[in-house]
Chain A
Amino acid sequence: MDIDDILQEFETATSRKETKKTPTTLYDELVVAMVNERMAPELLPFKHELLQKVLAQISNQQQFLLDSHEYGDVNAESGVVTGDFKLQLMIIETDIERINYLIRLYLRTRLSKIDKFTIFYINETADEDPDSKDRLLSSQEQKYMHQHFKILTRLYNNCFLKRLPHTLTLLDDTSGGQSMIVEPDLNQPVFVKSITDKPITISLGEDDELDLVNDGIYVVKYKLVRDYISIGDVVMI
């Protein structure tokens, strides 16, 4: 399939108009963050700013709902409160629920990777500046990770490690050509879509190259598009 042909042919198609780019909303940003996190083999940097913004908005909306319900109770008898008003509150509540759901999906995906690669990320984040704004994990996740590891090692110790000779009790031994530390495999293939107008050329090694064009869908090794994902030119799908 020649991609240029396809693109040209589709340029005039009607649905193109329909999927026109709308200004990015917090919702869109959350969806991209959630899907990227779901599809990436490794843990992506925590979206500190985005989450802060969204959580602040949620509490704003909740305050608004509280106030409105109070207003509704006070004015219920006078007939000021219309069905429309209730409908609007219902929509606001549903919106909060929907955002909540997305955040939950995002966080659960992250926790599952923290569980899977605990020792690896403990090592990775060991030298991070605790006050830095671009830490890989949120402070709650940091805490979770260390607690999780503590509980796990305690369980291992009680169950069997304490009965083994000391040299066999390591959980992070990397000698002898076999690493005990489970790491994310960055060579795993992933589905991606380019969302930038300028073509992206990635090297496949051995003089082989691949051009990612706008709206094109590809399966490539995660490692090759990792940087483009972090700047947002490529999204995972």
Chain B
Amino acid sequence: MTSNYYDLDDILADGEKVPSRFNMTVPGLGYLEGNPGKAVQKGTQLELPMWLAEVLAICAILEDSQESFIDLSEPEFISSRVLNAIKTNPRTVDLRKLLRNYYKLVEKWGTFFNEPSLIEIIMTMLKERAFEINNFASNTNKLMNNDFTYTLDEFERILFRMTSDSNKQMRNWLKE
């Protein structure tokens, strides 16, 4: 995955929280769950930002142990409930509400866990939704009062804007 160091959406996506479970007791980390000065107990469930969870989930506690500091549990945005909704009708899912940078997070998750079936569902969804986005972006009078355009994640919004800008440019040139 090529990521651009200065890409703001990438940075924002890294800040999204994912559910994690501590595999050991860590002294002094209690402020993460609102207990400053205390330890985080082994087995505690906490939501950690992606950038931190990522590192803690791959770093082994001891050099020869298999166990890492935390285990990641399945986050809401790829829960079976959400994936079922996506499979049923990709166009009615409110991605924006789930995650501001939905596709970015899936990319990160996929890079991490290598999940072909998840990626396949998301790619199918992207094709469907992109097709719909193109329809809306090309059809100026359909734009008003449409709920679909409010459910777009950040990537989809950019796609929508680029597509309608391109169409607009062409229309303007033809009118010149």
Taking Cβ atoms with an 8 Å cutoff, the residues of A that contact B are 178-183, 185, 187
* Residues in B whose Cβ lies below 8 Å from that of A178: 3, 5
* Residues in B whose Cβ lies below 8 Å from that of A180: 5
Q: Provide 11 A-B residue pairs closer than 8 Å at the C-beta atoms, listed in order of the A residue.
A: A178-B3, A178-B5, A179-B5, A180-B5, A181-B5, A182-B4, A182-B5, A182-B6, A183-B2, A185-B2, A187-B2
* Residues in A whose Cβ lies below 8 Å from that of B4: 182
User: Contact string, B102-132, partner A, CB cutoff 8 A, digits 1/0?
Assistant: 0000000000000000000000000000000
Quote the shortest CB–CB distance from B6 to chain A (angstroms).
7
* Residues in A whose Cβ lies below 8 Å from that of B5: 178-182
- Alpha-carbon separation in the docked complex, A185 to B1 (Å): 10
Considering residues A179, A181, A187, which has the most beta carbons from chain B within 10 angstroms of its beta carbon?
A: A179
- Residues of B in contact (CB 8 Å), total 5
CB closest residue in chain B, given A187:
B2
What's the A-B contact tally at a CB cutoff of 8 Å? Answer: 11
- Alpha-carbon separation in the docked complex, A178 to B11 (Å): 12
CB closest residue in chain B, given A188:
B2
CB closest residue in chain A, given B14:
A178
CB closest residue in chain A, given B7:
A182
- Alpha-carbon separation in the docked complex, A212 to B45 (Å): 54
Quote the shortest CB–CB distance from A12 to chain B (angstroms).
31
Quote the shortest CB–CB distance from A221 to chain B (angstroms).
12
* Residues in A whose Cβ lies below 8 Å from that of B6: 182
* Residues in A whose Cβ lies below 8 Å from that of B2: 183, 185, 187
- Alpha-carbon separation in the docked complex, A58 to B109 (Å): 56
* Residues in B whose Cβ lies below 8 Å from that of A182: 4-6
- Alpha-carbon separation in the docked complex, A180 to B5 (Å): 5
CB closest residue in chain A, given B3:
A178
- Alpha-carbon separation in the docked complex, A187 to B5 (Å): 17
- Alpha-carbon separation in the docked complex, A46 to B52 (Å): 43
User: Contact string, B31-45, partner A, CB cutoff 8 A, digits 1/0?
Assistant: 000000000000000
Quote the shortest CB–CB distance from B56 to chain A (angstroms).
14
* Residues in B whose Cβ lies below 8 Å from that of A185: 2
CB closest residue in chain B, given A184:
B2
- Alpha-carbon separation in the docked complex, A179 to B6 (Å): 10
- Alpha-carbon separation in the docked complex, A179 to B3 (Å): 8
* Residues in B whose Cβ lies below 8 Å from that of A187: 2
Quote the shortest CB–CB distance from B4 to chain A (angstroms).
6
- Alpha-carbon separation in the docked complex, A187 to B3 (Å): 12
CB closest residue in chain B, given A171:
B5
Quote the shortest CB–CB distance from A177 to chain B (angstroms).
9
- Alpha-carbon separation in the docked complex, A183 to B4 (Å): 8
Q: 7 tightest A-B contacts by CB?
A: A185-B2, A180-B5, A182-B4, A182-B5, A182-B6, A179-B5, A178-B5
